[in-house]
């Protein structure tokens, strides 16, 4: 039986069988090389086969792979200490889990337990995961409708509308959850002042402010945290994707009083904080800081945006370029599938975000030559598609 037959039809599949990777490149079963601007949907944060992460995994696997949370672990303690030292102000507690959706589920329970309030305010255009609680905070009806009824008490307000947010946050709201940059809906950056308005509304009514930086955090935007661009710290921060260099891991960071409101047994994760993921996580944090990957994301991102602005000036099919650092959305006037398939033919992996938006989430190790190659491929593919569609 084929992989498709066994796994079913839940994933959008592309005709590439990946065998190995190195940095920002992967190779298929025939040996063809691809420049990876898909980046495992953001998981390949510090590059494929990162030397620090690879060595940490190898060394830890030779000792012990899993230590349950009911026992102490030196490698877990080291990871937690390092992560908390880098976290936004006040986030001195952490729950370790295995994915972005799990991180959000933990945030929901923490906020509910701490405030004893049932309502949540989320954003239109949001994406927080597909488990039932996280899905309840996700806006897209395509994902929600087949599984309704979902968790009750969630109100969606327009992303970036500070006045609508202020009106929605009342004394029965337990949590407001925001992505500083919405990823799945097309790379929409929170407008200036919006995160601050969310902070002030939560403070005024005693609600918990949660930021979902599962995709935007850990240097992706050219700052360690996407919320750093606005100098606003949340009460809860949800992390996952590339936090352990490709090994599954999620983390829910919280203020002490919030996590400390949870009693023994009220939330747990069998695999959360296992030794292998914590070793990989420490190595990932070391790569981000010691190897200058956050600064690289900022510098290379500036070059990428400059190049895309030049392309937009010559290609009428480009409606808008959005994002920060190496989290980029390119909105086109047509379906992006032909562009993605053309990229595959030319050895470049691109990602989509909805029908007409290209999403770029490359590893933070890319350089100027990689940007130049992607821009050249996009230039040619857009010219071909514009000619085919009669766009001038």
pLDDT band of residue 12 (cuts 50, 70, 90) is confident
Residues 298 and 364: their CA atoms lie apart, in Å, by 9
Tell me the pLDDT tens digit for each residue of 355-374.
Answer: 999 999 999 999 999 999 99
- Nearest one of 277, 269, 280 to 68, comparing CA atoms: 269
Average pLDDT over residues 296-311: 99
122, 139 Cβ separation under 8 angstroms: yes
Residues 47 and 370: their CA atoms lie apart, in Å, by 13
Tell me the pLDDT tens digit for each residue of 17-63.
Answer: 999 999 999 999 999 999 999 999 999 999 999 999 999 999 999 99
- Nearest one of 315, 278, 286, 317 to 59, comparing CA atoms: 278
Tell me the pLDDT tens digit for each residue of 127-145.
Answer: 999 999 999 999 999 999 9
Residues 220 and 288: their CA atoms lie apart, in Å, by 10
pLDDT at 4: 86
Tell me the pLDDT tens digit for each residue of 266-298.
Answer: 999 999 999 999 999 999 999 999 999 999 999
> Does residue 1 register a pLDDT over 90?
no
- Nearest one of 298, 378, 284 to 37, comparing CA atoms: 378
Tell me the pLDDT tens digit for each residue of 81-105.
Answer: 999 999 999 999 999 999 999 999 9
Tell me the pLDDT tens digit for each residue of 205-233.
Answer: 999 999 999 999 999 999 999 999 999 99
Omega before 149 within 30 of 0, i.e. cis: yes
pLDDT at 52: 99
CB-based burial label for 101 (10 Å; 0-12, 13-18, 19+): buried
Please name each of the domains of the chain with its CATH number.
3-50+292-389 (3.90.1150.10), 51-290 (3.40.640.10)
pTM: 0.97
pLDDT band of residue 178 (cuts 50, 70, 90) is very high
pLDDT at 375: 99
pLDDT at 255: 99
> Does residue 2 register a pLDDT over 90?
no
Radius of gyration of the chain (CA): 21
Residues 6+ apart with CB under 8 A from 312: 318, 320, 321
Measured CA distances, 226 to 12, 88, 190, 221, 230 (Å):
28, 10, 10, 6, 8
Report the percentage of the chain scoring pLDDT > 90: 96
pLDDT at 9: 87
End-to-end CA distance of the chain: 47
Q: What is the mean pLDDT of the chain?
A: 98
**Which strands sit side by side in the sheet containing 318-324, from one edge to the other?**
318-324, 327-332, 357-360, 351-352
């Amino acid at each position: 039986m084929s992989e498709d037959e066994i796994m079913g039809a839940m994933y959008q599949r592309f005709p590439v069988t990946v065998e190995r990777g190195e940095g920002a490149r992967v190779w298929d079963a025939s040996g063809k090389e691809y420049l990876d601007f898909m980046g495992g949907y953001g998981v390949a944060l510090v590059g494929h086969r990162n030397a620090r992460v690879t060595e940490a995994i190898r060394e830890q696997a030779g000792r012990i792979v899993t230590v349950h949370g009911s026992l102490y672990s030196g490698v877990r303690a080291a990871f937690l200490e390092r992560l908390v030292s880098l976290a936004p102000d006040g986030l001195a507690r952490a729950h370790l889990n295995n994915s972005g959706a799990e991180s959000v589920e933990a945030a929901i329970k923490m906020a509910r337990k701490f405030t004893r309030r049932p309502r949540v305010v989320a954003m239109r255009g949001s994406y927080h995961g597909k488990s039932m609680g996280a899905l309840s905070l996700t806006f897209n009806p395509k994902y929600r409708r087949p599984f309704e009824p979902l968790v009750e008490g969630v109100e969606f307000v327009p992303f970036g509308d500070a006045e609508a947010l202020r009106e929605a946050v009342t004394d029965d709201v337990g949590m407001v959850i925001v992505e500083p940059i919405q990823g799945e809906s097309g790379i929409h950056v929170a407008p200036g002042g919006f995160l601050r308005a969310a902070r002030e509304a939560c403070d005024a009514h005693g609600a918990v402010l949660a930021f979902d930086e599962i995709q935007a955090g850990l240097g992706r935007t050219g700052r360690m945290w996407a919320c750093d661009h606005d100098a606003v710290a949340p009460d809860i921060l949800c992390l996952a994707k590339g936090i352990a260099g490709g090994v599954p891991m999620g983390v829910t960071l919280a203020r002490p009083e919030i996590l400390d409101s949870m009693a023994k047994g009220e939330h747990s994760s069998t695999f959360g904080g296992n030794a292998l993921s914590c070793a990989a996580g420490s190595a990932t944090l070391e790569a981000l800081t010691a190897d200058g990957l956050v600064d690289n994301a900022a510098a290379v991102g500036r070059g990428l945006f400059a190049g895309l602005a030049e392309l937009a000036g010559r290609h009428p099919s480009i409606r808008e370029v959005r994002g920060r650092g190496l989290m980029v959305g390119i909105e086109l006037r047509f379906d992006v599938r032909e562009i993605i398939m053309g990229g595959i033919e030319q050895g470049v992996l691109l990602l989509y975000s909805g029908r007409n938006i290209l999403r770029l989430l490359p590893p933070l190790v890319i350089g100027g030559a990689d940007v130049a190659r992607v821009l050249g491929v996009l230039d040619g593919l857009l010219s071909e598609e514009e000619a085919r569609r009669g766009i001038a």
